[in-house]
Amino acid sequence: MSNLPNCPKCNSEYSYEDRDFLVCPECGNEWKQGADVERAVGQKVVKDAHGNILQDGDTVTVIKDLKVKGSSSVVKIGTKVKNIRLVEGDHDIDCKIDGFGAMQLKSEFVKKA
Ligand SMILES: [Zn+2]
């Protein structure tokens, strides 16, 4: 007796494990065990300097003069940044700023407009 789940397609009880997959010898179905289990990983919540939750498409205001990496320009405090996109990493906001182009910001240095 095995504890493997029945085939979700034909409900056969003869499914067996093959590496990460489960295989049904009767209908040839292959599926991943637990693939439909909801994953909470990757659902990182990004908050601004005041603890407001930021979302893709939000407009934020820079609350601190920020040096632009690789140049002598500075994004001035009070600069409005439209249509942000949240990304993974140390700099968690991907955006475009007029006059600067595409760049990444840290959420701790902005506030929701
Ligand atoms: Zn099957």
Of residues 2 and 24, more confidence is placed in: 24
Residues 6+ apart with CB under 8 A from 37: none
Q: State how far the Cα of 94 lies from the Cα of 92, in Å rounded to an integer.
A: 7
Of residues 82 and 4, more confidence is placed in: 82
For the entire predicted model, the pTM comes to: 0.60
39 alpha carbon – ligand 1 mean position (Å): 26
Structure token pair of residue 38: 């909801």
Backbone angles phi, psi at 60, to 5 degrees: -125, 165
Residues 6+ apart with CB under 8 A from 12: 6, 24, 25, 26, 27
Question: pLDDT by residue (tens digit) across 29-71?
Answer: 998 876 544 444 445 789 999 999 999 999 999 999 999 878 8
37 alpha carbon – ligand 1 mean position (Å): 20
Helix (H, G, I), strand (E, B) or coil at 67: strand
38 alpha carbon – ligand 1 mean position (Å): 23
